[in-house]
Amino acid sequence: MHLRALGLVSASAAFLACAHKPEVYPNDKFVLDTQHERIEARIDPNGINGTMIQLAQDQEGLNGAAFNQPVFLHFTSDRASGLVANTPVDLTVQRQDQKLRARGIYTGAPVDLTVSPNEISGIVRGCSYWLKRSESVFQGFRQCGFKKEQEPTTVNLPRTLGSKSDPEKMAILAFFLSQ
């Protein structure tokens, strides 16, 4: 009986351990990987495309539909604004050395998000994120709403995101982290 219980514990530990091992992610794909969901989308100069995500990049910003909701985002040198799911987005973005910080609202909910080469942390739409760079991805935890448990989370930021302006980068990150 004890050996069977030990085997179950070992199998559970092995499953949890490999559930969020760093994978090799494509250089042009954003990936949000949690215990409950995985969102992937290709980011390129023409926009963002993935399952249920069709956003076109034009001179005005990003427009289209994501998760069956309309998206209209516009960018200035230090701001991202518009509507996602018919609710307001208004983010002010500041750069300090290698850190980017976005503050404001995203789909009507507060955002205070900081991104550096080694860390993603902050609050986006009721979820708190604590992610550290691990090899080529960011790994750590998120905690959403009133849940006590922290959920293991992995985020891959594609190289193609680097060609975007600071407000575009932070609005795109807020878009994915708010799902």
Taking the model in full, what pTM does it have?
A: 0.84
Would you call 172 helix, strand, or coil by DSSP? Answer: helix
Rounded to whole angstroms, what are the CA distances from 55 to 1, 42, 124?
Answer: 55, 10, 20
**Residue-level pLDDT at 106:** 96
Amino acid at 51: T
- Is residue 101 situated within a structural domain? yes
Amino acid at 127: C
- Is residue 65 situated within a structural domain? yes
**Residue-level pLDDT at 93:** 98
**Residue-level pLDDT at 60:** 86
**CB 8, CB 14: distance < 8 Å:** no
| Exposure class string for 70-95: b at 16+ Cβ within 10 A, else e | ebbbbbeeebbbbbbeeeebebbbee
Q: Which residues of the chain have pLDDT under 70?
A: 1-24
- What are phi and psi for residue 67, nearest 5 degrees? 55, 45
**Residue-level pLDDT at 24:** 66
Q: Tell me the C-alpha distance between 30 and 169, whole Å.
A: 11
- Is residue 149 situated within a structural domain? yes
What domain range includes position 75?
22-177
- Is residue 131 situated within a structural domain? yes
48: nearest Cα among 25, 71, 68: 71
Tally of domains within the chain: 1
